[in-house]
Chain A
């Protein structure tokens, strides 16, 4: 699971690099999305326990010995919440990009300097 955690961090790095270096606004939103996905992967890998199964107590899992047979359900729950929030925030950012593009007919972040400080 160390490998998966490391890959999650690599994904976050790629996202930060994309957000810092790209000029196209869609690519900045994509970078944010990559950071989001990396964090989800890290959270799921933290909850994973080797050799265990999903936290669904059907026939595959003995209910009396469930404590030894299922992975941690709490990180899964948090990731499910985070995915939906991520979807909403990404949609909002993309709509903002659409609006900026309509105003100046440009996708480049450099052309939108009003809020620069």
Chain B
């Protein structure tokens, strides 16, 4: 009973704190100072049609690097927690032929859709994170269909290492060839709104997509083992 009263008091205090925030909320009428700069100078400086991508990959590229690092640390933590237990051999049945045939039809389409999303990340909604998640979902179907496959583990760890390394390498190249870390003007900016535009953004976002996809597949892999 006492516990319930404490919970109610906590929630009431939270309402008390947040009610003025909601009631006095004034809807934004103008872009903030920083956003004004991004919207005004973004198209010329970065050349990406999608301003969210321009900010995520270039203006706040450090944030994204940190974010990928957090994802990696979380994956490593999951692997650590699950691997401390002795992994007993479980009898694995072969999956049904419906799943296997369906995988053969769907897997190329799902992976193609994911790649489409992260390659067009600087033009349309979407980008590395979304594309990576879609690719991971495709590989989940593949893992379910062929549980004994060892090749996929090797491929995934290879993709993970290469994409992470390439991402940092592109950042350092920006430091050497252009204005700063993760500067996208190491490649020509190209014509605004085309697929090959915005300098290194499509390249960086593809690497982020592969990295995110392989991290998520790693999480699924650890969970499958358990």
Is A63 positioned at the interface, with any CB of B under 8 Å from its CB? yes
A interface residues with partner B (beta carbon < 8 Å): 1-2, 5-6, 9, 12-13, 16-17, 20-21, 46-50, 54-58, 63, 66-67, 70, 72-74, 76-77, 80-81, 83-85, 88-89, 91-92, 95-96, 98-99, 102
Q: Is the interface of B mostly helix, strand, loop or mixed?
A: helix
Report how far A67 CA is from B39 CA in the complex, Å. 6
Report how far A89 CA is from B7 CA in the complex, Å. 25
Contact B74–A92 (Cβ < 8 Å): yes
Stretch at the interface among B49-57, B144-152, B165-173, B174-182: B49-57
A84 to chain B: which residues have CB within 8 Å? 67, 71, 129, 212
Q: Is the interface of A mostly helix, strand, loop or mixed?
A: helix
Report how far A84 CA is from B212 CA in the complex, Å. 9
A50 to chain B: which residues have CB within 8 Å? 27
Q: In the complex, how many residues of chain B place their beta carbon closer than 8 angstroms to a beta carbon of chain A?
A: 54
Contact A76–B52 (Cβ < 8 Å): yes
Is B158 positioned at the interface, with any CB of A under 8 Å from its CB? no
Q: A2-B25, A57-B193, A83-B129 given. 11 additional CB < 8 A pairs?
A: A13-B14, A16-B10, A16-B11, A17-B11, A49-B27, A54-B125, A73-B52, A80-B129, A92-B78, A99-B82, A99-B84
Contact B77–A2 (Cβ < 8 Å): no
A sample of 22 cross-chain residue pairs with beta-carbon separation below 8 angstroms, ordered by A number, consists of: A2-B22, A5-B21, A5-B25, A9-B22, A13-B14, A13-B15, A17-B11, A20-B10, A49-B31, A50-B27, A56-B51, A57-B51, A67-B36, A73-B51, A74-B32, A74-B55, A77-B52, A85-B70, A88-B71, A91-B78, A95-B77, A99-B85
A95 to chain B: which residues have CB within 8 Å? 77-78, 81-82, 222-223
Report how far A83 CA is from B123 CA in the complex, Å. 21
Mark interface residues in B25-53 (1 if CB within 8 Å of A CB, else 0): 10111111011101110010000011110
Nearest CB to that of A96 among chain B residues?
B81
Nearest CB to that of B85 among chain A residues?
A102
Report how far A63 CA is from B48 CA in the complex, Å. 12
- Knowing A66-B39, A72-B35, A73-B38 touch, does A98 contact B226 (C-beta < 8 A)? yes
Nearest CB to that of B51 among chain A residues?
A55
Report how far A91 CA is from B222 CA in the complex, Å. 11
Report how far A82 CA is from B35 CA in the complex, Å. 19
CB distance from A86 to the nearest CB of B (A): 11
Mark interface residues in B60-83 (1 if CB within 8 Å of A CB, else 0): 100110010011001101100110
CB distance from B14 to the nearest CB of A (A): 6
Contact A80–B56 (Cβ < 8 Å): yes
Report how far A50 CA is from B27 CA in the complex, Å. 8
CB distance from A26 to the nearest CB of B (A): 15
CB distance from A114 to the nearest CB of B (A): 16
Contact A49–B29 (Cβ < 8 Å): yes
Contact B28–A72 (Cβ < 8 Å): yes
